[in-house]
Chain A
Amino acid sequence: MKLLFERSVKGRGSDILPEITTGSYRPEAKYLRQSKMHLPEISEVDLGRHYTQLMKQTHGVNDGFYPLGSCTMKYNPRVDEETASLPNFTQIHPLQPVNTVQGCMKVLHKAGRLLCEITGMDAMTFEPAAGAHGEYTGLLLIRKYHQDRNDTERVNIIVPDSAHGTNPASAAMAGFKVVNIPSNDKGGVDLEALRAAVGKDTAGLMLTNPNTLGLFDPNILEITRIVHEAGGLCYYDGANLNAIMGRVRPGDMGFDCVHLNLHKTFATPHGGGGPGSGPVGCKEFLKKFLPCHMVEERDEFYYFADPEKSMGQVRSFYGNFLVVVKALTYILTLGKKGIPEASGKAVLNANYMMHQLKDHYHVAYDQICMHEFVLSLDDLKKETGVSAMDIAKGSLDFGIHPPTMYFPLIVHEALMFEPAETESRETIDEAVKIYLDLFEKAHSDPEYLHNAPHHCPIGRPDEVKAAREPVLKYEFND
């Protein structure tokens, strides 16, 4: 497919702006740029067609099954898009006087209260723009808490070996040292390892529950107790909240702060990798360290207030506001029954799918799973040479977005499936049939799968070449 720049013809374009009406003010020559700025010169019709072609080479939730583990690719309701497009939200400048933005502030306040109830927290900031950004913010809360108590020795954040890569990376960015602890044979936190790891240097624990194996850790109360007794705080990574929302709350499990991914659990679209939104909630005792611009209410008037010992800001203004509008619309639609129904169906879908695959594929931890489950294709690979990558790429030919591959790191040849609640039984049945056919194919014609996909716009790209000889932009001839 041609690039925008390869479609460019000198002199073409659209008339978007009127002529200048204010006279002939121009900057002096010494300020002007000399170098040419190559932007595409393209008619509106050709521009539209260019992106329609790109669209056809993009797979979204509406194109088909998207069981990408840990990413919660649920259906993105259209009414959420509509409310976020209301001009009375989109055309608001963030620095307008507060009496002219009461609607926006109400959105933040209302969404905050609802999410506090869902998570069992007391306060919520919407400043973080994505999950990893939320992790960073939550960890800064922990850091501020210990600093405020002059407890400066607490420099370690404990992270299980099944954690998302963002956990240790966020901890490092927040100025902590990372202590990795192993999982036990049931996929949960190894309590002995945890007891050995905690001490006077423990700032906190970061945990995803259910974890990245899709397993709810039954020892959760013991885990948070061990950390608290050692003087540390417990951070809940909300990446997998979709399994338990409306049924169990992080706050009740002993967590002190939490981040949510509105673009996972609360159905806002992923946009090809953003914008997301990663609000952070905390218990009362951490509230005074939250970022600036908290929305407070008095006599139905909303105003901004900076917490007493605020960490400052992690992003400009108030976060990805329009994403919050979408999530609020979603929560109001589902309500008190719809929220636990969604989590329950997500868990049902995962167990239903796992059940039908497990006679052929090896389930890494064969027990009731939550909203996702992990297969290990180690045996299949030894037997046939067909890897997790090969099966994943094979599924592409059937219009299925592959599951998450090679994660979590503690499972060899891992494939992690998350069939979100909005997928129907028929969709899952069809997908199961495809994965069972691929299993057969692995035995009958492994070579075919090594070369998959066969029917996509491109075959497997040469990633080594991309990294060794980086071409990161189009090179113009003039």
Chain B
Amino acid sequence: MGRYIPETVSEQEAMLKDIGYTSIDDLYSMVPEQVKLKDLNIPEGKSELEVLEQMKEIAEQNIVFRSIFRGAGVYAHHIPSIVKTITSKEEFVTAYTPYQAEISQGVLQSIFEYQTQICELTGLDVSNASVYDGAVAAAEAIFMTLERNKDEILVSDTIDPETLAVIKTYCESRSVKVTLLKNRNHLTDLEEVKKNLNERTAGLYIESPNYFGLVEDVEAFAGLMHENKAKIIEGCDPVSLAIYKAPGEMGVDVAVGEGQQLGLPMGFGGPYLGFMSCKKELMRKLPGRIVGETTDHEGRRAYVLTLQAREQHIRREKASSNICSNEALCAMTASVYLAAMGPEGMKKLALSCYSNAHYLAEKLNEAGFRRIDEGEFFDEFLTVSPVDPKLLEEKLAEKKILSGLPLDEGILWCATELNTKDKIDELIAAIREVM
């Protein structure tokens, strides 16, 4: 139907005539005849009403759970109404990358504010404007630590498997050797790190809380790495940073993470954003766009994309990364979210997650789902399962409850501010029915 073209066919013919052609096909004279497509084999176009109905019908084939006890990298949270309102403003939604600073101060300032907030969360000096997701942020951070003669990286096996998969792909293509460190009771093992450290080690990547929900002793690892002239990268949970020690307080060189929790819906995996921040001395190794403050010729405060000598459009094959488009609107979402929540709101959020998860752990324990690990956890933890986890998942799904994630090691449970006491008690009652 070609619905978004303003002109009628006869108007288009008039335009063609004005420039000396009779048909649009004339404009494709450079295309070899034998490759011109005769028939595009897709369905006929439809009206807005029909398409909307069709898409709704497809959407209804998904099940939306009322109560979600699954995290594993993606978390159900409340998204304040103001966040959705602000980030659906057409100007923000339909703008391009703010290369033309004079008419892009809105987007540029919002990125500058985002960078500031990420630095505040992580306690580090510099942030970029975001990358594709938390997993890619981890891979890009690894590249930041590489130096001549330092091309090996240590990675704890307690990290998110999605992140590990991306790290492996990225590192293989750049010939960076990845050594996976065996955990001890689902925590990164200091002895294992020591054993695998050598003069070619560029850095260590760990997550805290890790995939199993446990808080790692980041400071100890940071000290060890620095003694060996290597860097430490921490993958962190941005919500937990409202209460837990910030990477900057523990000597971390680069902090990265998945920003989905900051106001973005789960959306079957995306779009999300990867946040990245680092110590000042690594500033010029950060990939992607960075906004800086400057002035215009009249001395007015102005924001611009800066330090572009790192980037692909200037450096081509010598760039620090190939990244061009990032996740700007998602970064703005995170920024609005953090501003709407404020410091007290974020703290309350983190404590809600913490408290609900600990209550959940206690109640699950009473129901026979004993915690497997001992250490400190934030909002996720691993338990044994006295029943077949798949059966449990299925039975709870009938009540629109999404169980913890069945893993080889047990079940990985999660609670956020949405899993209130009532919801948890309901879960426990439902579990008892299955047993």
Instruction: Tell whether, in the assembled complex, residue A16 and residue B355 are in contact, meaning their CB atoms are under 8 Å apart.
Output: no
Instruction: Tell whether, in the assembled complex, residue B313 and residue A17 are in contact, meaning their CB atoms are under 8 Å apart.
Output: no
Q: How far is the CA of A368 from the CA of B18 in the complex (A)?
A: 14
Interface residue ranges of B291-311 to A (CB < 8 Å): 291-298, 300-304, 306-309, 311
Write the nearest CB–CB distance from B266 to chain A, whole angstroms: 5
Residue B244 contacts which of A27, A131, A459 (CB distance < 8 angstroms)?
A27
Instruction: Tell whether, in the assembled complex, residue B339 and residue A275 are in contact, meaning their CB atoms are under 8 Å apart.
Output: no
Q: How far is the CA of A135 from the CA of B322 in the complex (A)?
A: 9
For residue A363, CB closer than 8 A to chain B, the reply is no
A sample of 9 more A-B contacts (CB under 8 A), given A312-B166, A472-B112, is: A1-B105, A5-B116, A93-B268, A94-B268, A171-B317, A247-B31, A325-B55, A466-B292, A473-B112
Instruction: Tell whether, in the assembled complex, residue B6 and residue A424 are in contact, meaning their CB atoms are under 8 Å apart.
Output: yes
* Chain A residues near B163 (CB-CB < 8 A): 316
- Give the one of A38, A130, A249 with max B CB within 10 A: A130
Query: Which stretch (B77-85, B183-191, B226-234, B364-372) binds chain A?
Result: B77-85
Contact (A463, B294) CB under 8 Å given A58-B95, A92-B267, A276-B325: yes
Q: How far is the CA of A118 from the CA of B339 in the complex (A)?
A: 43
Write the nearest CB–CB distance from B79 to chain A, whole angstroms: 9
Q: How far is the CA of A332 from the CA of B94 in the complex (A)?
A: 21
For residue B385, CB closer than 8 A to chain A, the reply is no
Instruction: Tell whether, in the assembled complex, residue B322 and residue A136 are in contact, meaning their CB atoms are under 8 Å apart.
Output: yes
Query: Which stretch (B56-64, B146-154, B199-207) binds chain A?
Result: B56-64
Interface residue ranges of A97-137 to B (CB < 8 Å): 97, 100-104, 106-107, 110, 114, 117-118, 129-133, 135-136
Contact (A166, B312) CB under 8 Å given A39-B343, A246-B40, A272-B92: yes
Q: How far is the CA of A169 from the CA of B318 in the complex (A)?
A: 7
Instruction: Tell whether, in the assembled complex, residue A56 and residue B106 are in contact, meaning their CB atoms are under 8 Å apart.
Output: yes
* Chain A residues near B173 (CB-CB < 8 A): 136, 140, 143, 173-175
For residue A443, CB closer than 8 A to chain B, the reply is no
Instruction: Tell whether, in the assembled complex, residue B42 and residue A47 are in contact, meaning their CB atoms are under 8 Å apart.
Output: no
For residue B316, CB closer than 8 A to chain A, the reply is yes
Query: Which stretch (A59-67, A194-202, A226-234, A378-386) binds chain B?
Result: A59-67
Instruction: Tell whether, in the assembled complex, residue B162 and residue A317 are in contact, meaning their CB atoms are under 8 Å apart.
Output: yes
Instruction: Tell whether, in the assembled complex, residue B93 and residue A60 are in contact, meaning their CB atoms are under 8 Å apart.
Output: yes
Interface residue ranges of A166-201 to B (CB < 8 Å): 166, 168-175, 178
Residue A336 contacts which of B44, B70, B272 (CB distance < 8 angstroms)?
B44
For residue B7, CB closer than 8 A to chain A, the reply is yes
Instruction: Tell whether, in the assembled complex, residue B98 and residue A272 are in contact, meaning their CB atoms are under 8 Å apart.
Output: yes
Is the interface on chain B under 10, 10 to 19, 20 to 34, or 35 or more residues?
Answer: 35 or more
Residue B268 contacts which of A77, A79, A92, A140 (CB distance < 8 angstroms)?
A92
For residue B410, CB closer than 8 A to chain A, the reply is no
For residue A375, CB closer than 8 A to chain B, the reply is no
* Chain A residues near B103 (CB-CB < 8 A): 57-59, 396, 401, 453, 456-457
Write the nearest CB–CB distance from B372 to chain A, whole angstroms: 19
Cβ proximity bits A453-478 to B, threshold 8 Å, 1 near / 0 not: 10011111111011100111110000
For residue B430, CB closer than 8 A to chain A, the reply is no
Cβ proximity bits B200-240 to A, threshold 8 Å, 1 near / 0 not: 00000000000000010000000000000000000000000
Residue B73 contacts which of A91, A103, A316, A457 (CB distance < 8 angstroms)?
A316
24 interchain pairs, CB-CB under 8 A: A37-B246, A42-B339, A51-B110, A62-B91, A77-B3, A89-B62, A96-B402, A101-B268, A103-B58, A271-B95, A273-B96, A312-B165, A320-B270, A322-B267, A322-B268, A344-B27, A345-B12, A421-B4, A422-B4, A457-B103, A458-B102, A462-B294, A463-B304, A466-B294
Write the nearest CB–CB distance from A47 to chain B, whole angstroms: 6
For residue A151, CB closer than 8 A to chain B, the reply is no
Residue B105 contacts which of A57, A117, A319, A344 (CB distance < 8 angstroms)?
A57
Task: Give the nearest-CB partner of A319 in chain B.
Answer: B270
Write the nearest CB–CB distance from A351 to chain B, whole angstroms: 6
Instruction: Tell whether, in the assembled complex, residue B244 and residue A329 are in contact, meaning their CB atoms are under 8 Å apart.
Output: no
* Chain B residues near A341 (CB-CB < 8 A): 2, 5
* Chain A residues near B179 (CB-CB < 8 A): none
Cβ proximity bits B151-187 to A, threshold 8 Å, 1 near / 0 not: 0000000001011011011101111000000000000
Contact (A133, B132) CB under 8 Å given A220-B32, A422-B6, A472-B126: yes
Q: How far is the CA of A13 from the CA of B132 in the complex (A)?
A: 30
Write the nearest CB–CB distance from A133 to chain B, whole angstroms: 6
For residue B373, CB closer than 8 A to chain A, the reply is no
Instruction: Tell whether, in the assembled complex, residue B72 and residue A338 are in contact, meaning their CB atoms are under 8 Å apart.
Output: no
Cβ proximity bits A377-406 to B, threshold 8 Å, 1 near / 0 not: 000000000000000110010000110000
The 6 A-B pairs at the shortest CB distance, nearest first, are namely A335-B45, A317-B269, A271-B329, A275-B271, A58-B106, A103-B61
Instruction: Tell whether, in the assembled complex, residue B62 and residue A129 are in contact, meaning their CB atoms are under 8 Å apart.
Output: no
Instruction: Tell whether, in the assembled complex, residue A347 and residue B28 are in contact, meaning their CB atoms are under 8 Å apart.
Output: yes
For residue A425, CB closer than 8 A to chain B, the reply is yes
Instruction: Tell whether, in the assembled complex, residue B102 and residue A82 are in contact, meaning their CB atoms are under 8 Å apart.
Output: no
Write the nearest CB–CB distance from B275 to chain A, whole angstroms: 13
Residue B102 contacts which of A28, A132, A166, A456 (CB distance < 8 angstroms)?
A456
Task: Give the nearest-CB partner of A15 in chain B.
Answer: B345
Instruction: Tell whether, in the assembled complex, residue B345 and residue A34 are in contact, meaning their CB atoms are under 8 Å apart.
Output: no
Task: Give the nearest-CB partner of B320 in chain A.
Answer: A169
Q: How far is the CA of A168 from the CA of B302 in the complex (A)?
A: 32
Write the nearest CB–CB distance from B38 to chain A, whole angstroms: 10
Interface residue ranges of B376-412 to A (CB < 8 Å): 376, 393-394, 397, 402, 405
